[in-house]
């Protein structure tokens, strides 16, 4: 029938608001992650308390090593699930920030700002530290209540589990860079004449310096706008017309509070259209 859904070609649906979808995904995954940690940590705490009470009531110390080993493996499973949700959350956050830097006025920076605060407070490392503490506490409880075999075995089990967690956590960090906010620039190109470039992703403050700007183009000028936040700045760049320009230029920033400089690379084009 004319006008029915069956006659529509693929892609004929309404346009997708990808930024709204990103924010929806972030909220949904963040809620799942919050529930996982809330109920998982509560379960671990309850099991540790219950095992201690059971050992005291029955005067059977062998309960503690078995309970400790079970809790250690439970922590490992919860950590794996936590990392899965956190990686998915990170992907949605990264995409949202890509869309935010390219958004027209009025500028949208909610995800960028939240991510900047999360990374600057080392929240990712704090989560790993919490799981490490649970592994250590469970091993200690089993150690003090076990026999010689348990006192030898439990530290080894705890160390192996913690090593697996650490290795996977470092792998996730290296792959997704969850511990840092990637520097972004929009538009990603420059043209002869005046250019306004929005830069996000580092600890920008009024004390931010531009360490290197176009050493191969002496007549190039730049100006940092005073209108900035802790996560973004606006950079005005003027390239001289009528001269041979390289195909790519680098701008190195020295953000206040960061240990190392950060560099953005922008393509030089004659006609950005």
Mean pLDDT across the chain, nearest whole number? 78
Give the pLDDT confidence score for residue 65 in this predicted structure: 85
In terms of domains, do 73 and 169 share one? yes
Closest CA to 118 of 82, 98, 93: 93
Together in a domain, 191 and 249 = yes
Do 162 and 197 fall within a single domain?
no
Task: Report pLDDT digits (tens) over 109-142.
Answer: 788 778 777 777 788 888 899 999 999 998 888 8
Residues 79 and 31 in one domain: yes
Cis peptide before 187 (omega within 30 of 0): yes
In a domain, 59, yes or no: yes
Whether 155 and 62 share a structural domain: yes
End-to-end CA distance of the chain: 41
Angle between helices 123-145 and 18-58 (to 10 degrees): 20
Contacts of 224 (CB under 8 A, 6+ apart): 208, 210, 233, 234, 235, 236
Q: What are phi and psi of 120, to 5 degrees?
A: -70, -25
- What is the gyration radius of the CA atoms in the chain, in angstroms? 26
Are residues 158 and 217 both part of a single domain? no
- CATH number of the structural domain spanning residue 229: 2.60.40.10
Q: Does 44 reside within a domain?
A: yes
Asked which of 117, 151, 176 is the last residue of a domain, the reply is 176
The answer to whether position 2 is within a domain reads no
105 CB contacts (<8 Å, ≥6 apart)?
Answer: none
pLDDT of residue 132: 94
pLDDT per position as a tens digit, 171-222: 988 887 766 667 788 888 888 888 888 887 665 655 556 555 555 666 777 7
Contact 256, 205 (CB under 8 A): yes
In a domain, 121, yes or no: yes
Residues 39 and 162 grouped into a single domain: yes
Please give the structure tokens belonging to residue 46: 């309850």
Cα distance between residue 171 and residue 149, in whole Å = 33
Q: Which domain-ending residue is among 120, 155, 176?
A: 176
Are residue 142 and residue 44 in the same domain, yes or no?
yes
Closest CA to 138 of 193, 59, 182, 74: 74
* Residue 27 and residue 57 in contact, taking contact as beta carbons nearer than 8 Å: no
**Main-chain phi, psi angles of 8, to 5 degrees:** -80, 140
More confident: 60 or 265: 265
Both 147 and 53 in a single domain? yes
Q: Examine residue 130 and state whether it is found in any structural domain, yes or no.
A: yes
Boundary of a domain, candidates 145, 176, 207: 176
Q: Which two tokens stand for residue 125?
A: 């490392």
pLDDT score for 209: 60
Judgement on whether residues 60 and 84 belong to the same structural domain of the protein: yes
Alpha carbons 118 and 112: distance in angstroms, whole number: 10
- Is 45 a domain residue? yes
pLDDT digits (tens, 9 = 90+) for 215-243: 566 677 777 776 666 567 778 888 887 66
Structural domain containing residue 240: 184-268
Domain count, the chain: 2
Of 191 and 260, the structure prediction assigns the larger pLDDT to 191
| Band (55; pLDDT cuts 50, 70, 90) | low
pLDDT in tens, 7-50: 554 445 455 688 888 889 999 999 999 999 999 989 988 888 88
For residue 267, the SS3 value is strand
Question: What's the CA gap between 94 and 98, in Å, rounded?
Answer: 6
Tell whether 59 and 159 lie within a shared domain.
Answer: yes
Same domain flag for 149 and 253: no
In terms of average pLDDT, the best of 24-38, 85-99, 114-128, 146-160 is 24-38
Position 8 in a domain: no
């Amino acid at each position: 029938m004319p006008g029915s859904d069956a006659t529509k070609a693929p892609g004929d649906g309404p346009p997708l608001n990808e930024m709204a979808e990103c924010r929806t995904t972030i909220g949904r995954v963040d809620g799942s992650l919050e529930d996982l940690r809330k109920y998982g940590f509560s379960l671990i705490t309850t099991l540790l308390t219950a095992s201690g009470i059971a050992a005291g009531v029955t005067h059977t110390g062998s309960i503690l090593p078995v309970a400790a080993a079970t809790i250690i493996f439970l922590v490992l499973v919860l950590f794996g699930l936590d990392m899965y949700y956190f990686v998915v959350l990170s992907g949605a956050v990264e995409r949202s920030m890509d869309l935010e830097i390219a958004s027209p006025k009025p500028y949208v920076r909610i995800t960028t700002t939240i991510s900047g605060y999360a990374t600057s407070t080392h929240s990712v490392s704090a989560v790993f530290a919490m799981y490490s503490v649970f592994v250590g506490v469970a091993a200690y409880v089993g150690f003090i209540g076990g026999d010689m075999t348990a006192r030898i075995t439990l530290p080894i089990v705890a160390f192996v589990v913690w090593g697996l967690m650490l290795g996977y956590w470092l792998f996730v960090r290296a792959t997704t860079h969850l511990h840092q906010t990637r520097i972004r620039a929009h538009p990603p190109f420059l043209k002869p004449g005046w250019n306004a470039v929005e830069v996000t992703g580092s600890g920008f403050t009024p004390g931010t310096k531009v360490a290197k700007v176009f050493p191969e183009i002496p007549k190039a000028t730049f100006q940092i706008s005073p209108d900035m936040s802790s996560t973004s700045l606006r950079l005005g760049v003027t390239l001289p017309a009528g001269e041979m320009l390289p195909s790519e230029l680098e701008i190195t920033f020295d953000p206040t509070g960061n240990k190392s400089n950060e560099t953005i690379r922008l393509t030089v084009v004659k006609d950005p259209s």
